[in-house]
Amino acid sequence: MLSDALHAPTIRRMRANHRVAVMHVPDTGHTPVLSDRNQNWFIHEWLMGRVDAPEWSVLHARLREDPVVEKPAKERERPRLVAA
């Protein structure tokens, strides 16, 4: 069984008196290993101060072996954090 490091009521109490950012990491045990590229990218963006959302979920990165169809650079959009 997977666990939540912090339950929703605890997060609400923390937010009552502090500015708190919450990153949900689904399908992960109590403490994420941080071996997933998406998890690391979102943490990097948060540390760089580029996160506007107070709460978000991180989806798992696709496996490196999965084929990728790259769009031309001008058609690529920079990923952005969206509130959960």
Instruction: Note the pLDDT tens digit of each residue in 27-48.
Output: 776 666 777 888 888 888 888 9
pLDDT score recorded for residue 27:
73
pLDDT score recorded for residue 19:
85
Say what the alpha-carbon torsion angle 61, 48, 43, 36 is, to the nearest 10 degrees.
Answer: 40
Of the two residues 1 and 69, the one the predictor is more confident about is 69
57 close to 83: Cβ distance less than 8 angstroms: no
Classify residue 24 by its DSSP letter.
E
Q: Of 7-21, 23-37, 44-58, where does mean pLDDT reach its minimum? A: 23-37
Measure the CA–CA gap between 70 and 72, rounded to whole angstroms. Answer: 7
